[in-house]
Chain A
Amino acid sequence: MGTTRQDFEGLFSIYIWIGSGVAVLVFAAVAFALIRYRAREGRRPSRRSDSHLLEGLVAVLILAVVALLVTRTFTTEAAEDESRTTPVRIDVTAFRWGWRFTYPGEGVSVIGNSAANPTFAVPADRAVSFSLRTLDVIHSFWIPEERFKRDAIPGRVNRFDIDFEGSGSEEGLCAEFCGLEHSKMGFEVFVLSPASYQRWLAAHRGGAA
């Protein structure tokens, strides 16, 4: 199992290829019909109005494609939904309109809101286990570059792992409409090397926001 993003891209490309193939096929069939079967002087339309064999064949074919897609989806989802406890744990709390990121056991907590978006760091070499809560309404924790989001639902804790890819700064957004400042409720993630990550933790210990 690769990073979260790699899991996504593998699955997504299958869907896009098959979807594009189907689209090309249907467009071609319609174009063929329009070119070949335009009304012309003396043209008599076919009297045939059924073909159970053709219908059955097409249904089975589509079912086979569906089976392929569903199987790939289920295996990818099983891999993604696994939540293991790894040494890196972050508790995320969403609220109107900002985020708090707490590293239990590390003594680090970062908070920010629409006036000043918060930033937190993760190491690039290990999966990170998140626990996601909300203090008020539904929000959604989305990191587009990791191709992943999860909702923060009142009264629930959602747990998930993200295996971060690459390095550098990544944008984070709230992706569930939560009221007036929904569009300003962003955050930033630094994906760091293990050494830089430890330095970041040290710098933020003792309650520095």
Chain B
Amino acid sequence: MSAEPGTAPPLPAAPNLAAPAEGAIGWIASTDHKRTAAKIGVASLVFFIASGVLALAMRTELAQPGLQFISDQTYNEFFSMHGSGMIFLFLTPAALALGLYFVPLQIGAAEIALPRLALFGFWTYLCGGLTMYAGFFTDNGAGSDGWTAAAPLSNSAFTPGIGMDMWVIGAGLAVLGSLLIGVTILLTLFRLRAPGMTMLRLPVFSWSMVVTAFMVVGSFPVLVVTMGLLLYERHVGSVFSGSNGAIAFQHLFWFYGHPVVYVMFFPFVGAVAEVVATFSRRRFFGYKALVLSLLVFTALSMAVWAHHMFTTGGVQNQYFSLTSHLLAVPAGIEYLDLIATMIGGAILLRTPMLFALGFILQFLIGGLTGIVVASPPIDYHVHDTFFVVGHFHYTLFAGSLFGLLAGVHYWFPKATGAMLREGLGKLSFWLLVIGANVTFFPMFFLGFDGMQRRVPDYAPRLGDLNLLSSIGAGVIALGILVFLVNVVVSLRRRQPAGDDPWQGQTLEWATSSPPPRHNFQGPLPPIESHAPLFDRRLAEEPA
């Protein structure tokens, strides 16, 4: 029992510590990090579906020029809650939940540091999300100033009503909850690594969680404070008026608003790296270069935020253009490492690997168009148009969501003990690939051609591409449906997964599926690199 830090010493009359917390109280108040992470996952899935339905409604309205189904005011609430829901309530918590579940397993820990803080964080986030959505039931409707709540539009003169207040408070709570989850993950990585697991033997996914947590603790507090200031502005006195007020708000908001999109990226590129290595039957290529590029990439991503403000005329465009362009260097190294892992490997195209490949190729389009808009003179044309909408949906949907699905399909057997169906998995993959590209690629042309963001209506000449995009959205919905069916079917008619269905390389595959309450029973394999199971398998191979 030497390799189980954090476990309580056996007590004479202790209850069975290996049994999961049963019943309703277990679901509400369990301190098991796996249970907390599962709860975040379920909640974020519900918010994803709700926010996705809003998107389908918008795409239905946008399919034809003219206003057919939705009023201006409703549309404004829809796009605001779609973006807010997806970012604050779905993808950020889901990214952190992946880390909350799998970091302790990957580092050989029995528990996370501060399990009660994580539990508290979940409930705070959930209350925040419900508060935001409850705004739909108020007189003036839900929050309606985008997910960015730009001042002065977001003050009580221009956006009156309790619904917007609830948006502000809800956003603050949701981000606070996420912040606390990030804190526990970081402390876990600092404190609870198994003996022998130095920082430079952390698995790639765990390293991606280290730098994600750095960004979380560096930038999320600023958002919470900013929401507090905005609430003050709405009810007490002006904070963001005056000639620099609007600009100041944007600095504070985007200081969080840019790193958060990387919080919604790095855990997934980490998951994709694990998938690529496992399904190429190789160690991940260029580990040390990857660690360095993760650190540089995330540091830089804290320093680019004002590229959202190029057209304001109020920031030092050149500095932020330079830092934004520089992101290409560590990003390129990561792509090199991913591809170099595949080249020379023995690749198996199971569903997790398909989604990983989708992530790699589609995120690339998002990333390259990101470099395009890093140039202020180009941004002067395409900022606040559907070009940008296309750009960030390629990074967040065609990129990060595919990365999340890669991680989900990869780790679902570990968390549930059941395999997901390959056939349904492949079907959902192809539907999502077709749907994503048909929906979002036309947006580059729409934006370039004169369609601005956040509008329910547009010039008639833009009708055809909008219709195409809306059809794509329907295909996406189908793909998501197939995925959900896959999950339900796989849980009902279980195909047992066993401990290690994929011949994994990292410690989570050295325990049962699902893992027991304190993650490991019995000694861990020796830890001599970031891929302990791969090393062990190699050592056991006949020469």
Q: Do chains A and B touch in the complex (CB under 8 A)?
A: yes
Q: Which residues of A contact B (CB under 8 A)?
A: 7-8, 11-12, 15-16, 19, 22-23, 26-27, 29-30, 32-34, 36-40, 43-46, 48-52, 54-55, 58-59, 62-63, 65-66, 69-70, 73-74, 76-77, 80, 136-138, 140, 142, 144-145, 147-151, 153-156, 158, 160, 171, 173-184
| A45 pairs with B281, CB closer than 8 A | yes
- Which one of B1-9, B253-261, B367-375, B473-481 is at the A interface? B367-375
Q: Closest chain B residue to A49 by CB distance?
A: B283
Query: Within the assembled complex, what's the spacing in Å between the Cα atoms of A50 and B337?
Result: 9
Which residues of A have CB within 8 Å of B284?
Answer: 49
Distance to closest chain B CB from A96 (angstroms) = 8
Interface size on B, residues (CB 8 A): 82
Measured in the bound complex, the distance between the Cα atoms of B238 and A155 in whole Å is 14
Alpha-carbon gap, A184 to B65, bound state (A): 13
Task: Find chain A residues with CB under 8 A from B454 CB.
Answer: 177, 182-183
Interface pair A149/B325, CB less than 8 Å apart: no
Selected contact of A148 from candidates B343, B347, B369, B381, CB within 8 Å: B381
Mark B261-301 against chain A: 1 for CB-CB distance below 8 A, else 0. Answer: 00000000000000000001111111111000000000000
Set of chain B residues within 8 Å of A39, measured between Cβ atoms: 281, 346-348
Contact at B377–A73, with CB atoms within 8 Å? yes
In the complex, chain A residues whose CB is within 8 Å of the CB of B242: 155
Partner of B153, one of A58, A138, A171: A138
Beyond the given pairs A30-B361, A177-B453, A179-B153, 10 more chain A to chain B contacts, judged by CB atoms under 8 angstroms and listed by A's residue number, are A19-B371, A39-B346, A44-B346, A49-B286, A50-B286, A51-B286, A54-B336, A77-B376, A160-B313, A175-B383
- In the assembled complex, B16 has its CB within 8 A of some CB on chain A: no
Which segment of B181-189, B229-237, B315-323 sits at the interface? B315-323
Q: Do B314 and A153 have beta carbons less than 8 Å apart?
A: yes
B152 within 8 A of A: yes
A146 to chain B, nearest CB (A): 8
The CA-CA distance from A7 to B152 in the complex, in Å, is: 33
Chain B, residue nearest A76 (CB): B377
A-B contact pairs, 25 of them (CB 8 A): A15-B375, A15-B378, A26-B335, A27-B361, A33-B345, A45-B345, A50-B285, A55-B286, A55-B289, A58-B332, A58-B336, A66-B326, A66-B329, A69-B375, A70-B321, A73-B325, A74-B321, A76-B377, A77-B318, A136-B152, A142-B384, A149-B381, A173-B450, A175-B384, A183-B454
Q: Is the CB of B280 within 8 A of A66?
A: no
Residue of B nearest to A27 (CB): B361
- Give chain A nearest CB distance to B282 CB in angstroms: 5
Instruction: Report the separation of the CA atoms of residues A63 and B287 in the bound assembly, to the nearest whole angstrom.
Output: 21
Contact at A30–B282, with CB atoms within 8 Å? Answer: no
A12 contacts across to B, CB distance below 8 A: 372, 378, 381
Which residues of B, 192-211, contact A by the 8 Å Cβ criterion? Answer: none
Chain B residues packing against A (C-beta within 8 Å):
72-73, 76, 145-146, 150, 152-153, 158-159, 241-247, 280-289, 311-314, 317-318, 321-322, 325-326, 328-329, 332-333, 335-337, 339-340, 342-349, 357, 360-361, 364-365, 368-369, 371-372, 375-378, 380-381, 383-385, 449-450, 452-459
Most buried by B among A23, A63, A65, A176: A176
Residue of A nearest to B330 (CB): A59
Give CA–CA (A80, B378) in the complex, Å: 11
Question: Are B282 and A19 within 8 A (Cβ)?
Answer: no
Q: How far is the CA of A8 from the CA of B333 in the complex (A)?
A: 30
Check B455–A158 contact: CB distance below 8 A. Answer: no
Which of A19, A33, A74 interacts with B343 by CB under 8 Å? Answer: A33
Of all chain A residues, which has the CB nearest B338? Answer: A30
Closest to B281 in A: A45
Residues of A within 8 A of B453 (CB): 175, 177
Determine which of A74, A154, A171, A177 lies in contact with B152 in the assembled complex, contact meaning CB atoms within 8 Å. Answer: A154
Contact B372 A16 (CB under 8 A): yes
* B313-A181 in contact (CB<8A): no
The reply to whether A33 and B152 contact each other, CB–CB distance below 8 Å, is no
B339 A137 Cβ-Cβ under 8 A: no
Closest to A38 in B: B347
Bound CA–CA A151/B376 (angstroms):
13
Indicate if the CB atoms of A66 and B318 lie closer than 8 Å: no
| B335 → A minimal CB distance (Å) | 6
A177 touches B145 (CB 8 A): yes
In the assembled complex, the Cα of A70 lies from the Cα of B317 at a distance in Å of 12
A30 and B347 within 8 A (CB): no
Evaluate contact between B288 and A50: CB separation under 8 angstroms: yes
Residue pair A150, B311 in contact (C-beta under 8 Å): yes
Q: Which of B317, B347, B361 has the most C-beta atoms of chain A within 10 angstroms of its own C-beta?
A: B347
**Pick the contact of A175 from B146, B159, B364, B385 — CB < 8 Å?**
B385
CB neighbours of A154 from chain B (8 A): 152, 241, 243, 245-246
Q: Which residues of B contact A23 (CB under 8 A)?
A: 364-365, 368
